[in-house]
Every structure is written in structure tokens, then in C-alpha cells.
Amino acid sequence: MTKQPILVNTTRGELDALLALAMPTFPPEQYKLLQDVFDTFAYVMCALQNAKTSLKRFRQMLFGAKTESKDKVLGKTDASAAGDARAGAGTEDGKIEPLANTPAAGGASVPRRGHGRNAAKAYVNSPVIEVDVPNLKSGDPCPECTVGKVYDSPPKVIVKVVGQSPLGATIFQLERLRCRLCDAVFTAPMPAGQSTTPKYDHSCAAMLALLRYGAGMPFYRIEGLQASLNVPLPDSTQWDIVSQALTAPKAVFTELINQAAQAPLLHTDDTPTKILSLMAQRKLLEAIGQTPANKAINTTGIIAVLAGHKVALFLSGHNHAGDNLNAVLAQRARELEPPIQMSDALSSNFMGSDEFARIVANCLTHGRRMFVSIIEHFPQECRYVIEVLAQVYVHDKQARDQSMTAEQRLLYHQTHSGPPMQALLQWMKDQIGQKQIEPNSAMGQALRYMIVHWNALTLFLRKAGAPLDNNICERALKRAILHRKNSMFYKTLNGAQAGDVYMSLIHTCELCHVNPFLYLQALQVHAKDVMARAALWLPWNFHDQLDKPGCDTIAADLVLPKARQSGAALVRVGSPPISSACNPQVSRVKVGRQASGQKEKHPLDSRFWHNQNPCPS
């Protein structure tokens, strides 16, 4: 039985040193053979490492990627290397020295919140019922001691949550009377406010759009859910409802593009998508021997960071992120300075970049991820890079916690992040220059990526307001990825554009901490005004229009489901699947003081209409 050899880790520089020692003593033929053996060894090791890395990435594609946090990643390395192989500055001979521990921001680690409880103030759009103490009010004598007096105290708050179907229906049975002599028929009129309303309420389009393009539920799944709840709604009808309600959202979407074009910072990225009509056109051209002008089909995500709020845009089609960004920047005011474009270093993100000036910033997380994927093969080197980058993120968190301005943050990074990043750059150059790392290995490729794109990766050290990474856009594209995983494709480009509009509005609402369900309803109710003045109906300012006196009459149409009434017409309304609103089975909702001492406030009262917290910048 052959004994298993000891696995040796060596560098290209060490192999070259051995060859130099062997040259004087080996004949030319044997020396050439030894040199070929060493070259074969280096090639096979690099190929093996790249193959293992490719298999790891393939597993992540199949089963999902795990967290890339520093503690999780470095915890996988050999425990014996936790001391001497820790992050450190490079020395003259390219060796790695330990680096002193960097305390976390704020000292001791803070335990994660995970109790899963929400305060009553989190239920922003829910009705509030104020219950008075029966037969007792502020200033009355105390019934217990009969001496003191009772005064107002903070109320005890109890939240009751009920479940309900996404779309509910109300049946109006209108009594009809017929004359036996002349056959005249007399029908009971619809209740007040119901005679002019359509079969499908404005809330139906809002709820269907939110489920389809916000939560990623295909129409056929919604159809099955509604059928099981005895409120049938075919998938074709759902599309008709959503598409017919698209006029006002399209106007707002166009205005959002104009707003995004003026932003000083734009995050961009792409993700593949499937549009069957475009795929059919591409296949037809290939069948007749023609080369399609564009083969790729993508959904581009653009996050524009403006003063006080953020805008999310989704654009699907043949264009890449660079082309779509150029279309947005075409509406930028000429007097504004060039914006910062944050993305990864993929060339498709910068197509046509010479058309509109911009300041390029590359995502530091993408560079870090290259070292995370190969840490099993190069534990010491990857540990050093990851821990140096961790210091940068600690400093950035400290700047956020102290609410620094963009200029103060820049100076803070230059003072604290600049020296370790400069040491990292010199160390990477030494690894390549002194042949400590095989240039064609996975580690060599990761080092070359960082060195080549160093200026764009470290823009935060030279430009005020430059971000560290593109994570906000990566998170936004998860909405398009969720749609792709659940619905698989769009049938036509028109359907893809409808999805882009609704996704953009829904995600912009979430970035601005606005309820997208109520916002989409408001656009439907005020469609004419939205078409005429879309700039006044954006997620961060539309509540100003609703506070005007002329908008009070539509409050009842926006949230509460219609109460059942006796009286055969069918009305459908959309409502959240889980709600803390009143029980929908009650015959009527009483407002004001009741016999039981209760009084109720409408959820669309100015106090509850929108989130009182300002949108973060």
C-alpha cells in the first residue's frame, strides 16, 4: 500500500529559489526536466484550487450562499492560525505580522435584538379605539379611597390582530318588486356611496400589485389562494385590474426617473431576467442566420440617493446597467456636477460612460468576496485582507453613529482608514512582485483585481459622500430575483415594463418608510391630479396633498373594507392579509362615544395617515 505523501504549500518564489540552487549541479537536460516538473506542479495546484473554488460557487448557486460576516468566515479557518496568521501590516520580506485588535464601535458587543415583539406605535395605519373608564372621568373623586381625585395617566395599550383574505367581497342583494298587472319592476337603490363605485375597488389593484411585484406571488398562486377563501379571482382578471390601473403609477415612474437623474450618488447593478417575446425575437434572428444586436436580457436596478430620500428604479430589457444609467442621466441638469456611480467593476456597468461624465466608485464588498471564496486555500493571506477591510467598516459605522457630515466622514476615513488601506495596497504589491503568490492562482487573481481597481475601490478616501459598497442596490435587486424565482419570466415586454413600474414604486415607498398599499390606492383615487402634477404625488410628499380639505372625502375609500349591508351586486376590495383593524364581520362601524364608553378614530385621520418619522437620507 502506497503511503500518502505530506501535502506541501509553497510559493512560486520558493520554487524559483530551488531551481536556482539546482542549476549549477544539474546537467542541462535534468535541469530542464526539473523545471518542467515544478511548472507542472504549480499549474496543477492552481487548477485544483480554481476547480474547488468553482465547485464552491456552484454549491452556493444551488443551495444559496451563507453569510459572509467576518466572524463566520474567519471562524472556518484553522484555529491554530488564529494567532500568528491574524491580520497585520506587510513587512519588507512580504511576511504577515499580527495586527493589534481593533475594538468594536461602542466598546463591548451589543446583543442582537430577537424577541420578535413590536410596540403599538409600529402599527401606524391601524385604527385606534380609545376606551374610557365607565362612570369615571378626570377630576372625579377616587372610588377606592373616596378622598383623593383621579387624573389622566398613560393609557394601557393592547393590540388585537386579525387575519383576512387579500381580497374580500361584499354582496348587495337589492330587493325587487314587480307589478302583476303592468310588469313594472322596482329595484331598491344601492346604499349611499356605492352606486358609482366599480366592481373592483381601487384597493384591489393596489393589493394585487403589492402581492405580485412586491412579494413575488404569481397571479396563478393568488388565484388559488382566493379560490380557497371563497372569493374567486382568475389570474387573467388580476392582470386586467393591475394593467388598467397603471396610468397614474406610470406618470409617477416617469417623474421618479427625472428625480433620480439629479441625484449626486447612483448605485447600479444588473440581474438576468427572462422575457419570452424578446427571447423569441432573438431565436428567430438566429434561425435565419442573423446576429441579434443584443442577446442579454436583464433587469437593471438603480438606487438614487438624494437629500432626504432615496429613489429605486427597475428597468428590464436588452440594455445593460450602463445603457440604462445613460438614459437616466440624459435628464440630468447640465449645471450639476458629475454624479458618483457605485457598482462593481463589470464593463457592462459602464457602457457609454464617455457620453455623460461621472465619478466611478467600485464596490468594496465585491473585492472582499473574492478573498472569502478562497479562504480555505489561503487562510493567512485572506485573513489579513478581511480584517483590514473590517476596520474600514468599523470606522464607517462610527461615522454614522456620530452623525458626521460627508466632509467630516471623509476626514475621519482619511485619518483612520487611510493608513491600514495603504499598508494593504503595499502588501498586495509585494505578494505579486516578490512572487509570494502564483499570479495565475485564485489568490493572484483576487490581488490583481484589488490592485487594478484600487482607485475606484477607495474613492471614499478622496471624495466626500462616496459609499463603501453597492449593498443597497444588491438588496433592491432581490425583489427582481424573487420575481424571477417565483414567476420565472415575463411573457411580453409590456408586462415587464408594468412590473418595473410597480416594483420601482413599491421599493421607493419602502426606502422612504411609506406604506405602499396606501400609496398605490392614493394614486388610483387621484389619478387625474397625479397625471397633471406627478411631482406632487411622490412617496415622500404625497401626504401633503391628502391633507388638503378636498381630499377628506376619499378617506373612507382607502383603508377600511366596506361593511356588509342587507339589501344582488358584488363589490370586491383589497385588504392586508393580516390586519389590526376592526373585525370585518361587524355590520357597521360607530365613530365617537358609544354606550360602552368607546370611541374610535379613523385610520386615515391625519394622525395615522402616514409615518410620522422623517425619511432618512
448-464 pLDDT, tens per residue? 999 999 999 999 999 99
Measure the CA–CA gap between 389 and 561, rounded to whole angstroms: 52
Give 292's DSSP letter.
P
Least confident among 110-124, 233-247, 392-406? 110-124
| Per-residue confidence band for 52, with pLDDT thresholds at 50, 70 and 90 | low
Q: How far is CA 77 from CA 70, 110, 372, in A?
A: 11, 25, 11
Give 90's DSSP letter.
B
Give 376's DSSP letter.
T
Give 121-180 pLDDT, tens digit per residue: 888 878 888 888 888 888 899 988 888 999 988 989 999 888 888 998 988 899 999 999
Helix, strand or coil for residue 562? coil
Q: Give residue 3's pLDDT.
A: 66
Would you say residue 100 has pLDDT above 70? no
Would you say residue 424 has pLDDT above 60? yes
Instruction: Tell me which of 506 and 377 has the higher pLDDT.
Output: 506
**Grid cell of 88 as nine digits:** 497585520
Helix, strand or coil for residue 297? coil
Would you say residue 337 has pLDDT above 90? yes
Give 486-499 pLDDT, tens digit per residue: 988 999 999 999 99
**Grid cell of 232 as nine digits:** 374567486
CB 132 within 8 A of CB 598: yes
Residue whose grid cell is 520554487 = 15
Contacts 24+ apart (CB under 8 A), 237-241: 238/208, 238/212, 239/495, 241/200, 241/204, 241/205, 241/208
State phi, psi for 305 to the nearest 5 degrees: -100, 110
